[in-house]
A and B are shown apart, each in its own frame.
Chain A
Amino acid sequence: MSDTAFIEIRNAAKSFGAFEVLKDINLTVDRGQIVAIIGPSGSGKSTLLRAINELDPLTSGEVWLEGVQINRKLPHRQYEKHVNQVRQDIGMVFQHFNLFPHLTVRGNITLAPKMLKGLSTDEANKLAEEQLAKVGLSEKIDEYPSRLSGGQKQRVAIARALAMRPKVMLFDEATSALDPELVEEVNLVMKQLAEEHMTMIIVTHEMDFAASVCDRVLFMDQGVVVEEGPPEVIFQSPENERTRNFLRKHLARANGQA
């Protein structure tokens, strides 16, 4: 492992049956770095992200976070304990929020800190208030998720992840399921996290957003990282033909929609 690497993915490969979704992917992310992953549908972006917290374990290769190998081969019981532990350090935000509908916003945020970190109810409530204030939803603390807009749900989901004080945040198309007018409020929260130097890996279809907050952009296609670099290079003068094609098509589609 290199000295500065905070997250390191080495020779990552993943197959579903005979179908190779990820092929020998290498990626290092430094502390505080913000990396965007872009690429066509089915290129393996979600699978790579989900490999980082063992939701979709790799077929081969290694994933390291701060000197700890996440996908260690361990006997079943020890493995379960290990992943439950390391997942506490990895926040993840999903396209469809995955809030718990039977719990209030407060319940959603306090559940894991109380269960896993032994916070008292008072401590957990304070934490929930803090995190909600951060995403601008203090007044929704006692609402059920069903009463929130999509943008509000996603901000609660972010607050819930942040309440575990993760070392890194993973976003899998956090704004893709939102009505266009609700995208900005979620982007703002993510930008704020960027300013606080949260380490983030962001799978996104929003090129403008990626260009404005990310330090690096990875373009994936058919299970490989085709090209990576700073956003100005990837978006303005990509070297690879496939990257250029993807961006051209993407731009055409985005303009077509507008």
Chain B
Amino acid sequence: MGLDFSVVPSYFGVLLLGAGWTIAITIGAGLLSFFGGIVFAVAALYGHWTIRLPMRLFGWLFMGTPLLLQLFLIYFGLIQVGIDLPAFVAGVIGLGLHFAVYNSELIQASILAVDKGQYEGARTLGLSRGQTLRRIVIPQAVQAVIPPMGNNMIALLKDSALVSVIGVMELTLASQQAISRTYRPFEFYLTAAAIYYVINLGLEAALRRIERRIQASR
């Protein structure tokens, strides 16, 4: 049986809707992983030990166990304790926190690498510790890790396919549905791959723009 893409166009609507959900999850989880990464990094470096200790356990949980399991835990596990999240929300939280932990590692290292002259310059003007962190140290630390965080965002986009297992109708699950009706896995998976690739190109272009804007100030 040869390839026959003629069945694909009638499912374009389904696939594009799936692509829309994939983009929505990536943006939602991406933002959560960015801001969550900053919060986790600051808590890990400057928090009281009663915050740092649970953070370490939390970080270990998210880095040392499969993302798939984490998604099951958040979606199905939490129902048991009375928290019934919509699949999309559970997916964004799972994916976002997972990558927030990775971003936090990057940002922590980057915060520690900020020159001590920056603290002195700021404190000498009268800025408090917190003000110095917020306005001087964190912006510089974050700017410095935009390229590796960009790589995490691309990994996040690809891993968003995992959210299909909790029933979010994103691109991968949408293709599977089309396949279950047409029995044309090769055609639909290839089409989905092409769409992922296009979304990826868009994401990379956006990241390059951000990097260029930062470079302009270097």
Q: Return the CB mask of B105-128 against A: 1 if under 8 Å, else 0.
A: 000000000010110111111111
Cβ A146 vs Cβ B121 within 8 A: no
Given contacts A96-B117, A102-B140, A115-B135, are A87 and B124 in contact (CB under 8 A)? yes
Q: Does B202 contact A (CB under 8 A)?
A: no
Cβ B217 vs Cβ A116 within 8 A: no
Max count, chain A CB within 10 A of own CB: residue among B117, B125, B143, B218: B125
Closest to A164 in B: B125
Q: Does B136 contact A (CB under 8 A)?
A: yes
> Chain A residues with Cβ under 8 A from B143's Cβ?
102
Given the complex of chains A and B, what is the CA–CA distance between A85 and B135 in angstroms?
18
Cβ B135 vs Cβ A111 within 8 A: yes
Given the complex of chains A and B, what is the CA–CA distance between A208 and B140 in angstroms?
39
Cβ A98 vs Cβ B118 within 8 A: yes
Q: Does B139 contact A (CB under 8 A)?
A: yes
| Chain B nearest CB, measured from A124 CB (Å) | 13
Q: Does B129 contact A (CB under 8 A)?
A: yes
Q: Does B131 contact A (CB under 8 A)?
A: yes
B residues contacting the other copy or chain, number (CB 8 A): 22
Cβ B140 vs Cβ A99 within 8 A: no
Cβ B121 vs Cβ A116 within 8 A: no
> Chain A residues with Cβ under 8 A from B131's Cβ?
115
Cβ B120 vs Cβ A116 within 8 A: no
Cβ A102 vs Cβ B139 within 8 A: yes
> Chain B residues with Cβ under 8 A from A102's Cβ?
136, 139-140, 143, 217
Cβ A87 vs Cβ B126 within 8 A: yes
Given contacts A80-B128, A84-B127, A94-B117, are A100 and B122 in contact (CB under 8 A)? yes
> Chain B residues with Cβ under 8 A from A161's Cβ?
124-125
Interface residues of A in 124-179 (CB under 8 A from B): 144, 146, 157, 160-161, 164
> Chain B residues with Cβ under 8 A from A146's Cβ?
217-218
Given contacts A55-B120, A96-B117, A111-B135, are A144 and B218 in contact (CB under 8 A)? yes
Given the complex of chains A and B, what is the CA–CA distance between A144 and B213 in angstroms?
12
Given the complex of chains A and B, what is the CA–CA distance between A91 and B140 in angstroms?
23
Q: Does A47 contact B (CB under 8 A)?
A: no
Q: Does A53 contact B (CB under 8 A)?
A: yes
Q: Does A37 contact B (CB under 8 A)?
A: no
Cβ B125 vs Cβ A112 within 8 A: yes
Given contacts A146-B217, A146-B218, are A100 and B136 in contact (CB under 8 A)? yes
Cβ B129 vs Cβ A116 within 8 A: no
Given contacts A101-B140, A102-B143, are A87 and B117 in contact (CB under 8 A)? no
Given contacts A98-B118, A101-B217, A144-B218, are A116 and B136 in contact (CB under 8 A)? no
> Chain B residues with Cβ under 8 A from A157's Cβ?
121
> Chain B residues with Cβ under 8 A from A97's Cβ?
117, 121
Cβ B217 vs Cβ A100 within 8 A: no
Cβ B118 vs Cβ A100 within 8 A: yes
> Chain B residues with Cβ under 8 A from A100's Cβ?
118, 121-122, 136, 140
Q: Does A88 contact B (CB under 8 A)?
A: yes
Cβ A88 vs Cβ B121 within 8 A: no
Cβ A88 vs Cβ B217 within 8 A: no
Given the complex of chains A and B, what is the CA–CA distance between A102 and B131 in angstroms?
15
Max count, chain A CB within 10 A of own CB: residue among B124, B127, B136: B124
Given the complex of chains A and B, what is the CA–CA distance between A164 and B117 in angstroms?
19
Given the complex of chains A and B, what is the CA–CA distance between A100 and B143 in angstroms?
13
Given contacts A80-B128, A116-B126, A160-B125, are A98 and B120 in contact (CB under 8 A)? yes
Cβ A92 vs Cβ B124 within 8 A: yes
Given the complex of chains A and B, what is the CA–CA distance between A188 and B129 in angstroms?
34
Cβ A112 vs Cβ B126 within 8 A: yes
Query: Which residues of chain A have a CB within 8 Å of any CB of chain B?
Result: 53, 55, 80, 84-85, 87-88, 90-92, 94, 96-102, 104, 111-112, 115-116, 144, 146, 157, 160-161, 164
Shortest beta-carbon contacts, A-B, top 7: A98-B121, A88-B126, A112-B125, A98-B117, A87-B126, A92-B124, A144-B217
Supplied contacts A104-B217, A144-B216, 20 more A-B pairs, CB within 8 Å = A53-B124, A55-B124, A84-B127, A84-B128, A87-B126, A94-B117, A94-B120, A96-B117, A97-B117, A98-B115, A101-B218, A102-B136, A102-B140, A111-B135, A112-B127, A116-B127, A144-B217, A157-B121, A161-B125, A164-B125
15 pairs, CB–CB < 8 Å, chain A vs chain B: A53-B124, A80-B128, A84-B126, A84-B127, A94-B117, A97-B121, A98-B115, A102-B139, A102-B140, A111-B135, A112-B125, A112-B127, A115-B135, A157-B121, A160-B125
